Protein backbone atom coordinates (compact mmCIF):
# COMPACT_ATOMS: atom_id res chain seq x y z
CA UNK A 1 0.00 0.00 0.00
CA UNK A 2 1.37 3.45 -0.97
CA UNK A 3 1.93 6.06 1.70
CA UNK A 4 0.48 9.57 1.49
CA UNK A 5 3.98 10.95 0.92
CA UNK A 6 4.53 8.53 -1.96
CA UNK A 7 1.25 9.63 -3.52
CA UNK A 8 2.17 13.29 -3.18
CA UNK A 9 5.57 12.65 -4.73
CA UNK A 10 3.97 10.72 -7.60
CA UNK A 11 1.46 13.53 -8.23
CA UNK A 12 4.23 16.12 -8.51
CA UNK A 13 6.35 13.85 -10.70
CA UNK A 14 3.43 13.19 -13.05
CA UNK A 15 2.55 16.89 -13.21
CA UNK A 16 6.14 17.87 -13.98
CA UNK A 17 6.38 15.19 -16.66
CA UNK A 18 3.13 16.47 -18.16
CA UNK A 19 4.42 20.05 -18.20
CA UNK A 20 7.50 18.98 -20.14
CA UNK A 21 5.57 16.74 -22.53
CA UNK A 22 2.84 19.29 -23.22
CA UNK A 23 5.52 21.94 -23.84
CA UNK A 24 7.39 19.68 -26.28
CA UNK A 25 4.58 18.03 -28.24
CA UNK A 26 1.45 20.04 -27.46
CA UNK A 27 -1.75 18.89 -25.81
CA UNK A 28 -3.18 16.88 -28.71
CA UNK A 29 0.20 15.30 -29.46
CA UNK A 30 0.71 14.04 -25.92
CA UNK A 31 -0.61 10.77 -24.55
CA UNK A 32 -1.21 9.64 -20.99
CA UNK A 33 1.09 6.69 -21.72
CA UNK A 34 3.95 8.99 -22.74
CA UNK A 35 3.54 11.12 -19.61
CA UNK A 36 3.46 8.01 -17.45
CA UNK A 37 6.66 6.71 -19.04
CA UNK A 38 8.42 10.04 -18.45
CA UNK A 39 7.26 10.06 -14.82
CA UNK A 40 8.26 6.43 -14.27
CA UNK A 41 4.75 5.33 -13.31
CA UNK A 42 1.94 3.38 -14.92
CA UNK A 43 -0.76 4.98 -17.04
CA UNK A 44 -3.27 3.61 -14.55
CA UNK A 45 -1.63 5.61 -11.75
CA UNK A 46 -1.89 8.79 -13.83
CA UNK A 47 -5.61 8.19 -14.26
CA UNK A 48 -5.92 7.30 -10.56
CA UNK A 49 -4.49 10.65 -9.51
CA UNK A 50 -5.90 12.95 -12.21
CA UNK A 51 -8.81 11.15 -13.84
CA UNK A 52 -8.14 12.28 -17.42
CA UNK A 53 -5.64 14.07 -19.65
CA UNK A 54 -7.82 17.19 -19.56
CA UNK A 55 -7.82 17.19 -15.75
CA UNK A 56 -4.03 16.72 -15.77
CA UNK A 57 -3.62 19.68 -18.11
CA UNK A 58 -5.87 21.73 -15.82
CA UNK A 59 -3.61 20.79 -12.90
CA UNK A 60 -0.65 22.04 -14.95
CA UNK A 61 -2.50 25.34 -15.51
CA UNK A 62 -3.19 25.62 -11.78
CA UNK A 63 0.48 24.99 -10.99
CA UNK A 64 1.56 27.64 -13.49
CA UNK A 65 -0.89 30.24 -12.18
CA UNK A 66 -0.04 29.43 -8.55
CA UNK A 67 3.58 30.06 -9.44
CA UNK A 68 2.76 33.38 -11.11
CA UNK A 69 0.62 34.48 -8.17
CA UNK A 70 3.23 33.39 -5.66
CA UNK A 71 5.89 35.35 -7.54
CA UNK A 72 4.13 38.70 -7.11
CA UNK A 73 6.43 41.42 -5.85
CA UNK A 74 6.02 42.74 -2.30
CA UNK A 75 4.23 46.03 -1.75
CA UNK A 76 5.79 48.56 -4.11
CA UNK A 77 6.15 51.14 -1.37
CA UNK A 78 8.74 48.88 0.30
CA UNK A 79 11.80 49.40 -1.92
CA UNK A 80 14.02 46.91 -0.09
CA UNK A 81 11.40 44.16 -0.23
CA UNK A 82 10.74 44.87 -3.92
CA UNK A 83 14.47 44.65 -4.62
CA UNK A 84 14.67 41.25 -2.92
CA UNK A 85 11.62 40.06 -4.84
CA UNK A 86 13.12 41.12 -8.16
CA UNK A 87 16.41 39.36 -7.38
CA UNK A 88 14.57 36.19 -6.38
CA UNK A 89 12.51 36.26 -9.57
CA UNK A 90 15.60 36.77 -11.72
CA UNK A 91 17.41 33.97 -9.89
CA UNK A 92 14.59 31.52 -10.61
CA UNK A 93 14.35 32.16 -14.36
CA UNK A 94 16.35 29.11 -15.37
CA UNK A 95 14.41 26.83 -13.03
CA UNK A 96 11.13 28.08 -14.51
CA UNK A 97 12.10 27.47 -18.13
CA UNK A 98 9.72 24.50 -18.46
CA UNK A 99 6.79 26.57 -17.14
CA UNK A 100 7.44 29.28 -19.73
CA UNK A 101 7.79 26.68 -22.48
CA UNK A 102 4.51 25.08 -21.41
CA UNK A 103 2.73 28.44 -21.37
CA UNK A 104 4.03 29.37 -24.82
CA UNK A 105 3.05 26.03 -26.35
CA UNK A 106 -0.44 26.02 -24.88
CA UNK A 107 -1.09 29.54 -26.17
CA UNK A 108 0.24 28.95 -29.67
CA UNK A 109 -1.61 25.64 -30.03
CA UNK A 110 -4.86 27.61 -29.87
CA UNK A 111 -8.34 26.25 -29.26
CA UNK A 112 -10.26 25.99 -25.97
CA UNK A 113 -7.10 25.13 -24.01
CA UNK A 114 -5.41 28.38 -25.02
CA UNK A 115 -8.59 30.40 -24.54
CA UNK A 116 -9.09 29.09 -21.02
CA UNK A 117 -5.49 29.80 -20.00
CA UNK A 118 -5.44 33.27 -21.56
CA UNK A 119 -8.71 34.21 -19.87
CA UNK A 120 -7.35 33.13 -16.49
CA UNK A 121 -4.23 35.25 -17.03
CA UNK A 122 -6.37 38.25 -17.99
CA UNK A 123 -8.42 37.83 -14.81
CA UNK A 124 -5.22 37.71 -12.76
CA UNK A 125 -3.93 40.86 -14.47
CA UNK A 126 -7.25 42.65 -13.91
CA UNK A 127 -7.10 41.77 -10.21
CA UNK A 128 -3.54 43.14 -9.99
CA UNK A 129 -4.55 46.40 -11.68
CA UNK A 130 -7.52 46.88 -9.39
CA UNK A 131 -5.43 46.18 -6.28
CA UNK A 132 -2.74 48.58 -7.47
CA UNK A 133 -5.27 51.35 -8.09
CA UNK A 134 -6.85 50.74 -4.70
CA UNK A 135 -3.59 50.97 -2.74
CA UNK A 136 -2.18 53.84 -4.81
CA UNK A 137 0.77 51.99 -6.37
CA UNK A 138 -0.80 52.13 -9.85
CA UNK A 139 -2.82 54.70 -11.73
CA UNK A 140 -6.54 54.38 -12.31
CA UNK A 141 -7.70 53.90 -15.90
CA UNK A 142 -11.00 54.50 -17.67
CA UNK A 143 -11.25 50.94 -18.97
CA UNK A 144 -9.37 48.48 -16.73
CA UNK A 145 -10.97 45.52 -18.52
CA UNK A 146 -9.36 46.40 -21.86
CA UNK A 147 -6.14 47.41 -20.10
CA UNK A 148 -5.93 43.96 -18.51
CA UNK A 149 -6.25 42.28 -21.92
CA UNK A 150 -3.61 44.56 -23.49
CA UNK A 151 -1.13 44.13 -20.63
CA UNK A 152 -1.61 40.37 -20.64
CA UNK A 153 -0.96 40.19 -24.37
CA UNK A 154 2.13 42.38 -24.03
CA UNK A 155 3.41 40.34 -21.11
CA UNK A 156 3.05 37.11 -23.10
CA UNK A 157 4.93 38.45 -26.12
CA UNK A 158 8.30 37.26 -24.82
CA UNK A 159 6.85 33.86 -23.99
CA UNK A 160 5.43 33.32 -27.48
CA UNK A 161 8.09 35.24 -29.47
CA UNK A 162 11.05 34.49 -27.22
CA UNK A 163 13.23 33.02 -29.97
CA UNK A 164 12.76 36.10 -32.18
CA UNK A 165 13.35 38.50 -29.28
CA UNK A 166 16.54 36.67 -28.30
CA UNK A 167 17.82 36.67 -31.89
CA UNK A 168 17.15 40.41 -32.23
CA UNK A 169 19.14 41.02 -29.04
CA UNK A 170 22.04 38.90 -30.29
CA UNK A 171 21.69 35.97 -27.89
CA UNK A 172 20.67 32.32 -28.21
CA UNK A 173 17.90 32.46 -25.62
CA UNK A 174 16.30 34.75 -23.08
CA UNK A 175 18.73 33.92 -20.30
CA UNK A 176 18.77 35.78 -16.94
CA UNK A 177 21.28 38.48 -18.06
CA UNK A 178 19.19 39.26 -21.16
CA UNK A 179 15.93 39.37 -19.21
CA UNK A 180 17.63 41.69 -16.75
CA UNK A 181 18.72 43.92 -19.62
CA UNK A 182 15.12 44.06 -20.84
CA UNK A 183 13.64 44.78 -17.41
CA UNK A 184 14.78 48.39 -17.06
CA UNK A 185 13.43 49.71 -20.41
CA UNK A 186 10.13 47.96 -19.72
CA UNK A 187 9.83 49.44 -16.23
CA UNK A 188 10.86 52.86 -17.53
CA UNK A 189 8.05 52.60 -20.07
CA UNK A 190 5.49 51.54 -17.45
CA UNK A 191 6.68 54.17 -14.95
CA UNK A 192 7.27 57.24 -17.13
CA UNK A 193 5.41 56.43 -20.36
CA UNK A 194 6.69 56.75 -23.93
CA UNK A 195 5.45 60.16 -25.09
CA UNK A 196 6.72 63.38 -23.57
CA UNK A 197 3.27 65.01 -23.58
CA UNK A 198 -0.40 64.12 -24.09
CA UNK A 199 -0.65 65.15 -27.77
CA UNK A 200 -1.30 61.63 -29.05
CA UNK A 201 -3.69 60.82 -26.20
CA UNK A 202 -5.70 63.99 -26.79
CA UNK A 203 -5.78 63.44 -30.55
CA UNK A 204 -6.90 59.83 -30.17
CA UNK A 205 -9.68 60.74 -27.76
CA UNK A 206 -10.89 63.39 -30.19
CA UNK A 207 -10.69 61.02 -33.16
CA UNK A 208 -12.71 58.36 -31.34
CA UNK A 209 -15.34 60.78 -30.09
CA UNK A 210 -18.59 60.62 -32.11
CA UNK A 211 -19.09 63.71 -34.23
CA UNK A 212 -22.32 65.69 -34.42
CA UNK A 213 -24.91 64.02 -36.58
CA UNK A 214 -23.28 60.61 -36.40
CA UNK A 215 -25.44 57.69 -35.25
Which tens digits make up the pLDDT trace of 33-61? 999 999 999 999 999 999 999 999 999 99
State which residues form the domain around 100: 57-160
In a domain, 172, yes or no: no
In a domain, 192, yes or no: no
In a domain, 130, yes or no: yes
In a domain, 33, yes or no: no
pTM here is 0.76
Instruction: Give the pLDDT score at 67.
Output: 82
Instruction: Give every CB contact of residue 64 below 8 A, 6+ residues apart in sequence.
Output: 99, 102, 103, 117
What CATH code is carried by the domain that includes residue 117?
1.10.357.10
In a domain, 136, yes or no: yes
In a domain, 35, yes or no: no
In a domain, 144, yes or no: yes
Domains in the chain, number: 1
Amino acid sequence: MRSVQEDLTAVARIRDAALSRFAATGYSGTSIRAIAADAGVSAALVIHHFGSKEALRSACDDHLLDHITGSDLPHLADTAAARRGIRDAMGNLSENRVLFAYLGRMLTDGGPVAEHLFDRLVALTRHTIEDGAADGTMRSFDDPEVLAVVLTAQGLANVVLGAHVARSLGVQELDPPTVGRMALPLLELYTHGLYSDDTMLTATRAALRPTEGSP
